Structure 1
Amino acid sequence: MRFMVMVKATRDSEAGVMPTPEEFAAMGAFNEELVKAGVMEAGEGLHPSSRGARVAFSGQERRVIQGPFAQTNELVAGFWIWKCASLQEAIDWVKKCPNPMRTDSEIEIRQIYSAEDFGEALTPELREQEERLRREVQGRAGGG
């Protein structure tokens, strides 16, 4: 199973406050542990929402909303993609994580859909397209 593990934003992260060298080192050690265990597939921090945008959809209309966005506790400041045997394993890893913020913080864990989750809606043709696109993306990531 694959999971997106999201570090929720705080006032500090939205203000662009950078981690200290000690905080970077602690998170680096945790990431190293994840990689050695074969859990971490990707992970990145995100710029504050003031540097982002949202696109709202209503039928054929598209409306761009420039950041910053008001509800800090609903924003994502960073993420990982993990491969774990279960939600409980992902929870266990998060519990080992150093606090990603200087203040109280929260990390959300959400399972990523796999092709099997879509059943008959994902026709053989669509499944082949998905697999082809995934191979192409992986080839680019690997320098191929």
Structure 2
Amino acid sequence: MRVMVIVKATPESEAGAPPKPEAWAAMEAFNAELDAAGITRSMGGLKPSRQGKRVRFDGTGRLISDGPFAATNELIAGFWIWEVRDMAEAVDWVTRCPNPMPGPSEIEIRPFYEEADLLEMLSPA
């Protein structure tokens, strides 16, 4: 099962504050564990939303907005894509993760649709 593990943004990450050296080292060690377990497919950190754009769709219309975007807790600061046995394994790994932010933070785990899911959704009942 593939999951996206989403690190939610905080006011600190939106300010572009770099991590403290000890926090960086802890995350590097965690990422090394993920690599050793063979579950990491991709990972990355995102720049603050002030450097981003949003495109809103309404029929054929498009509205482009510049960042920064409000509601920091709804923004993404970083992610992993993992291949795990099941959601329980993903939760186990996330609970072992060092706090990705200097203060309170949140990580969301979302499964990807797999081909079998899509075929089931599209097959006539």
Using the size of structure 1 for normalisation, the TM-score is: 0.82
C-alpha displacement at 1:119, in angstroms?
A: 1.2
SS of the aligned residue for 2:81 comes to strand
Count how many residue pairs are aligned between Structure 1 and Structure 2: 122
C-alpha displacement at 1:116, in angstroms?
A: 1.0
**1:54 counterpart residue number:** 54
C-alpha displacement at 1:93, in angstroms?
A: 0.2
1:19 aligns with 2:5: no
Distance 2:43 2:67 in 1: 23
C-alpha displacement at 1:104, in angstroms?
A: 0.3
SS of the aligned residue for 2:33 comes to helix
SS of the aligned residue for 1:103 comes to coil
SS of the aligned residue for 2:109 comes to strand
**2:36 counterpart residue number:** 36
Q: Deviations over 1:28-57 (max 9, x none)?
A: 000000010011111100000000011000
Cα RMSD of the aligned pairs, angstroms, is 1.1
Q: Deviations over 1:85-104 (max 9, x none)?
A: 11111000000000000000
Higher helix share: 1
Runs of at least 5 residues in structure 1 that lack an aligned partner in the other structure: 123-144
C-alpha displacement at 1:68, in angstroms?
A: 0.5
Runs of at least 5 residues in structure 2 that lack an aligned partner in the other structure: none
Distance 1:114 1:54 in 2: 27
1:111 aligns with 2:111: yes
Distance 2:116 2:67 in 1: 36
1:81 aligns with 2:77: no
Higher strand share: 2
Distance 1:56 1:115 in 2: 28
Which protein has greater RCO, CA pairs closer than 8 Å, 6+ apart?
Answer: 2
C-alpha displacement at 1:66, in angstroms?
A: 0.8
Determine what percentage of the aligned residue pairs are the same residue. Answer: 56
Distance 1:43 1:24 in 2: 15
Using the size of structure 2 for normalisation, the TM-score is: 0.95
AA aligned opposite 2:12: D
SS of the aligned residue for 1:95 comes to helix
